[in-house]
Amino acid sequence: MLDPFGIVFHPFPALVNHSCQPNCIVRFDLNGLAERLVPRYGSISIQSLRDIPQNEEITISYIDASFPFAQRQTQLRDRYYFTCNCSLCAQKEETVNDRLESKSVAGQPPVSPVGDNTQTAELQAQAERTFYDVQSKPGIETTQIPHLRSALQSLASTSIWPVHRYPFPQLRQQLALALLERQDFSGALVHFAILYRIVDPLYHAVTFHPVRMSHAWTFWNITFYCASEQQDERERYMLAMLSFHVVDELFKDMQKHNFHQGEMERMVVRAYEGVREGNPLWQSYERSKDKNSELALAWLDARIRQTLESERVSTS
């Protein structure tokens, strides 16, 4: 799920070890000095996710750390030939990454891990096959929409599969991107909204994590477009307020964390300045920013609930 992707051969970043709870991320869009010296090669940068105390090891994640314990261990063993003993892996299957929830009894503890339930494990295996099959066929995602919907429905049919647990988010993102490719912007909007409002905050505590920023940026583009195309006056207003809130939060995050000027930051600045200067509704948003944001997010959350209820997905 990390964006942007890149491959760099460099002796210093190669020394950075892995953790499923890293204190740094890798970026490939902060060119700086490298752009002036060797523009044809690009660059690699290590950016901290939090304050790092003296003598704490710098770490990054080699894989998608939102995967459950077993999948993370398998990927690291097969691709990098080691067993991870980081703080997240030390908790094994007792984290949000692995947990399945029961909706039958209030306060009931998490049910057994997937591997302890043959039927549930098979459903996950089928959904995983769909995920990797679609991933291996770039360019024809729109033809896979029925398969993606079927995989999501099979996980939802368990009634214990939370919306944030692998491979739900991965399949949902594939479906959202396929709907975008088919120009079904309204359909894609609610799926990116689920990632933006529910999934990403669970896995990435810092708002400037590249996954959160990437999803928020895509979500802003969809809301901005849908607002311009919406015929219903109230829906258009809510979408406009929502798009203002999202780009405003992105811009404030950049200022708060003193970001370097990478490609993501440049796009956000252009978008922020564009809506401030070119959209007449921006003044309405700014006059009651908190109230408008609250109304727009409540409207969005109602759409999310409606979608998840129709899918019969656990949000525990």
The predicted structure's pLDDT at residue 37: 52
Q: In the predicted model, is pLDDT for residue 293 greater than 90?
A: yes
Q: In the predicted model, is pLDDT for residue 77 greater than 50?
A: yes
219 or 12, which is more confident?
Answer: 219
25 φ/ψ angles, rounded to the nearest 5 degrees: -130, 165
Q: In the predicted model, is pLDDT for residue 43 greater than 90?
A: no
Tokens of 247: 């780009």
Q: What is the pLDDT of residues 125-158, one digit of tens each?
A: 999 999 999 998 888 889 999 999 999 999 998 8
Q: In the predicted model, is pLDDT for residue 4 greater than 50?
A: no
The predicted structure's pLDDT at residue 41: 54
The predicted structure's pLDDT at residue 110: 45
User: What span, in angstroms and rounded, lies between the C-alpha atoms of 128 and 135?
Assistant: 10
Instruction: Report residue 31's pLDDT band, with 50, 70 and 90 as the boundaries.
Output: low
Instruction: Report residue 45's pLDDT band, with 50, 70 and 90 as the boundaries.
Output: confident
Tokens of 50: 């939090």
User: What span, in angstroms and rounded, lies between the C-alpha atoms of 212 and 249?
Assistant: 12
Q: Is 25 helix (H, G, I), strand (E, B) or coil?
A: strand
The predicted structure's pLDDT at residue 236: 96
DSSP assigned state of 1:
-
Q: Chain-wide mean pLDDT for the chain?
A: 87
24 φ/ψ angles, rounded to the nearest 5 degrees: -140, 165
Give kind and range of the element (H or E) at residue 18.
strand 17-18
pTM check: above 0.75: yes
DSSP assigned state of 88:
T
Pair 48, 24: CB distance under 8 Å: yes
DSSP bridge partners of 27: 45
Instruction: Report residue 259's pLDDT band, with 50, 70 and 90 as the boundaries.
Output: low
DSSP bridge partners of 314: 162
Q: In the predicted model, is pLDDT for residue 117 greater than 60?
A: yes
Q: In the predicted model, is pLDDT for residue 316 greater than 90?
A: no
Give kind and range of the element (H or E) at residue 80.
helix 69-80
DSSP bridge partners of 26: 46
Token match 């070890």: residue? 17
**Is the alpha carbon torsion for 63, 64, 65, 71 positive or negative?**
negative
Looking at the chain, the number of H-run helices and the number of E-run strands are 12, 4
User: Helix-strand-coil percent breakdown of the chain, rounded to 5?
Assistant: 60, 5, 40
Mean pLDDT value across residues 48-77: 94
The predicted structure's pLDDT at residue 109: 44
Considering just the CA atoms, what is the radius of gyration of the chain in Å?
A: 21
The predicted structure's pLDDT at residue 51: 92
How many residues comprise the chain?
A: 316
Q: What is the pLDDT of residues 203-225, one digit of tens each?
A: 998 888 888 999 999 999 999 99
Instruction: Report residue 312's pLDDT band, with 50, 70 and 90 as the boundaries.
Output: confident
Q: What is the pLDDT of residues 151-206, one digit of tens each?
A: 999 999 888 899 999 999 999 999 999 999 999 999 999 999 999 999 999 999 88
Token match 């030390």: residue? 90
Write out the DSSP string of 161-216: -BTTSTTHHHHHHHHHHHHHHTT-HHHHHHHHHHIIIIIHHHH--STTSHHHHHHH
The predicted structure's pLDDT at residue 107: 41
